[in-house]
Each structure stands twice: as structure tokens, then as C-alpha cells.
Structure 1
Amino acid sequence: MALSGKVAIITGSSSGIGAGIALAFAKEGAKLSLTGRNQKNLEEVVKDCKEAGCQDVLTNVGDITQDAFRRTLIDTTKKKFGKIDILVNNAGIGGMKPLTSATKEEYDKFMAVNLEAPLFLTQLAAPHLIETKGNVVNNSSCGTTMIIPMLGLYTMSKAALDTFTRYLAHELVSHGVRVNAINPGYVPTQLGSEVMTDELHQSLVNATPIGRAGTPEEIGHLVVFLASDKAAFVTGECFRADGGFSMTTPALA
């Protein structure tokens, strides 16, 4: 198995893409440290991972934007498993808002979750990753290279995450630590459910050349590859998994 014996922290793993990544990791033999804000959902993900064969699962419920919780996540993972091999910065928030009417509070929230939390959690994890010659995978968005109406705040924060990925890869490469990002296309999750309509869903599917939305576990397969030794020569890259969405210029309302 590609990740046999590896210890992986996956943030935002109580639903959506994070849950898909957790399940994909479980099937590949990883030991999991999962975190999210919803205890019930996280318990369901743990159940699925154990049914997939992973019996070594640690959970922490809390807010990844809080420094104390980030430290708890790192400390409890190291205490339980003795090492940290992989950090998946998956937790994120979305939402649709014109930049011309965005508030300071909304801006701060996007940046706190989508950029600051990965930055400062990675700082805490870095010494442990250097010890294991591990790696980091950040969950970004295919929208960082496109204009998608109403997603300015979201894609700004994710574009910064792409830049963070490349700079961090450069800083850590001499320590044997790899850093990459994934840039998913349209994957229906709870993250966007508040603004999703049937019309918008169909518009997104129509704008995806492969003809359908992606699934969380499909994204998980890409993360497994990047986190595994099969990607040992890959660092500082941002990989699209979007069904061809970024090849189009969708006119989305």
C-alpha cells in the first residue's frame, strides 16, 4: 500500500473532500489524525476509515484558526503515533460575494481559514516533517487561474495558498520535505451547499468538459499519489483535478 505506516494529519476531514482524502488514505495503509468542527460527522468518517481497514485513527474537534488548537493537533498526533509524515491542509471555506461589496470581516474570515491556518499549522508541523523527510499537500482551487464570477474573495485566498505552496517547497527542499497543492474543480460538498442551486449545479457541470462533477475520493486519489513515495521527484507544483474545467471560460451567473 502506498502509504503503509505513514502518519497523516488531515484538516477539515469531517466532510466533503477532506473525508474523501481520509478514506483514500485509510485504504492505502496510513495512520490518521483527523480534525474538523463537527463531532458527529467526524465520527462517521472514522467509522468509514475503520471499515476500510484503518484502525489507527486519532480525532480532534476544534477550530483550525486558533493557535491553541493547532498546537493541540500537532502535540496529540506526535504523542499518539511518535511521528508525523504527512500534513494535508484541506480545511477551507467558500462563498459567493462581489469584491465591491465585501466587508473586512468577510475578507478576514477567508484569509484566516484558507491561508493563515495552513501557514501557521505548517510552521508547527515542519520540525516533525523534517525529521521524517515528509511532505505537505495543500487543497487549493482550479479557480486560481480563472475568473469565476462572485468568487473573488475565495480565489484570492486560494491563489495566495498556491504561492505559499511554491515558496514553502523552496524553503524546505534542502531538508528533504516536499510541498505540493491540488487544485480541484467542481466537487459537490457541504462547503458550497448554502449557495448551490439546481441551475448553478448544472452550469458547473456543463462547464466541465468531462461531463460531470468530481467526487471527494477522486480528489483523494491524487493526494495519495502526491503524499506517497511515487511522487518523490515532485515538489512545488499545483495539480489540477477539475475534469477539464480550467480549459473553458464559463459564463456563470
Structure 2
Amino acid sequence: MALRGKVAIITGSSSGIGAGIAAVFSKEGAKLSLTGRNQKNLEEVVKNCKTKGSADVLINVGDVTNDAFRKTLVEATKKKFGKIDILVNNAGIATMSPLGAAPKELYDKTMAVNVEAPVFLTQLVLPYLVETKGCVVNISTCGTSTIIPNGGIYIMSKAALDTFTRYLAQEMASQGVRVNAVQPGHVPTSIMSGQLNKEESAMMEKSMIKATPIGRTATAEEMGHIVAFLASEKAAFITGECILADGGLTMTTPPIST
């Protein structure tokens, strides 16, 4: 088990990719500190993790855009497990709006969740990662390499996260902390479908599958395996990378349609 004994904070782990990462990490023997805004969903994720492997799971329900909650999360994790080895900044929102007409409130909310929360949570965790020679894995999107209609603010936020990944990796390399990102292709989760009606969601799904050379969407656990690899000693010489995991989607030229 590649992560046996490692302590990992995973944000946004109550559903979607975060839940998939938690499941894989549990199989790999990690001790988990899971957070999200939905307690019922988190409890279901914990049950699933315990059937997969890890019986040592802490949950904290809250909003990672809140300064006080971020501090509570880090302190509770350190208190329970005595150390922190891995931070997975997965929590995110996908907002859809024409860029030229997007309200400031939408911009502020997107940046708060997708940029500010991972940046300032990482700052809190870094001293512990220096102690353990740990790592950060950020969850971005393949959309930074293509065009998603009406996805401008969302893609801007993830492009900022990619830049944060590379710069922090350079800053922390001498202290033994690695920082990488995963850029998933289309994984059917509520983060995008929640922005669309049923018909639009079905059209996007069809468009994504058609545009993806592998010919299907990805699963959350497939993304989890990539994150687990980057967090493990097998990736000890990888830092500052934004790993595309999109089934070849960004090799296609036409923009994704909704």
C-alpha cells in the first residue's frame, strides 16, 4: 500500500472526485482527514472508505473559504494524527456565465473557492509538510488547455491554481515539499451538471464523449489513482507538474459545445 501510515487532508471529499480520491487513499492505507459541506454525504464516504481499507478517518464539516474553519481543520487533523503528510486541494465550483456579462458576485465566489481557499489552506499546512517532507496535490481542469463556452471565470480560476502549483513547487523544493496538480477531463459529477438543466447536461455529456479520443468519460476513482501516485514515494522526483488526465480531450481542436 503506497500511502500506508500517511496522513492526508482531502477537501471537497463529500462527493465526486474528492470521494473517489478518498476511496483510493483508503485502499492505499492512508489516514484520512475529510472535509466538505454535507455531513450526510461525508458519513457515506467514510463508510465506503472503511470498507475499502482505512478505518482511521476524521471528518470536519465546513466551508473551506472560511478562515476560522481552515484553521480548525488543520488543528483538528494535527491533534488526531500527530502529523500531516499530504494536502489534496480538491474542493471547487464550476460556474457558467458569458465572461463579458458575468456578475462580480459570481467572480468573487469562484475565486474564493477555487483559488483563495487552496492558497490559504496550503499556507496553514506547509509547516507540517516541511516536517514530514510531504506534498500538495491540487485538482485543476483540462479546461485550461481548451475552450469551454461560458466557462471563462471557472477556467481563469483553475489557470491561477496551475500557476500557484508551479510557483509553490519552486519555492518549496529546497525544503523537500513537492507540489503538483491533476487536470481531469470530464468526470460525471454534480460540479458541472449542477450548472445546467437536464437537457443541457445530457448534451454536454454527449459532446464530451464524442470529443474524447478514448471515447468515454472518466471515473472519480481513476482520478484518485493519479492523485495517489503523485502523493506517493513513486513520484518522489515529480514536482511543479500539471498532469493532464483527459482521455486525449485536449488533443481535439473544436471547442466543447453545450
Alignment TM-score > 0.5, same fold:
yes
TM, length-normalised to structure 1: 0.99
Per-residue CA shift, 1:134-171, capped at 9, x if unaligned? 00000000011212211101000000000000000011
Q: Detail structure 1 runs of 4+ shifted over 3 Å in the superposition.
A: none
Query: Which runs of 5 or more structure 2 residues have no equivalent in the other structure?
Result: none
**What RMSD over aligned residues (CA atoms) do the two structures have, in Å?**
0.7
Between the aligned partners of 1:5 and 1:155, the Cα distance in structure 2 is: 35
C-alpha displacement at 1:5, in angstroms?
0.2
Between the aligned partners of 1:96 and 1:121, the Cα distance in structure 2 is: 25
Q: Is 1:217 equivalent to 2:217 in the alignment? A: no
Q: How does 1:51-200 map to 2 (within 5 A)?
A: 51-194=51-194, 195=196, 196-200=200-204
Match of 2:232? 228
Match of 2:22? 22
TM, length-normalised to structure 2: 0.97
C-alpha displacement at 1:220, in angstroms?
0.2
Between the aligned partners of 1:6 and 1:198, the Cα distance in structure 2 is: 39
C-alpha displacement at 1:250, in angstroms?
3.1
Q: 1:148, 1:250 within 8 Å by CA — same for their partners in 2?
A: no
How many residue pairs match? The answer is: 253
C-alpha displacement at 1:249, in angstroms?
2.2
Letter in 1 for 2:23: L
C-alpha displacement at 1:13, in angstroms?
0.2
Out of 206, 216, 225, the position equivalent to 1:202 is 206
Between the aligned partners of 2:97 and 2:127, the Cα distance in structure 1 is: 38
C-alpha displacement at 1:190, in angstroms?
1.1
C-alpha displacement at 1:200, in angstroms?
1.6
C-alpha displacement at 1:199, in angstroms?
1.5
Between the aligned partners of 1:59 and 1:193, the Cα distance in structure 2 is: 26
Match of 2:37? 37
Match of 1:48? 48
Letter in 2 for 1:43: E
SS in 2 for 1:69: helix
Q: Is 1:247 equivalent to 2:251 in the alignment? A: yes
C-alpha displacement at 1:80, in angstroms?
0.1
Between the aligned partners of 1:113 and 1:171, the Cα distance in structure 2 is: 23
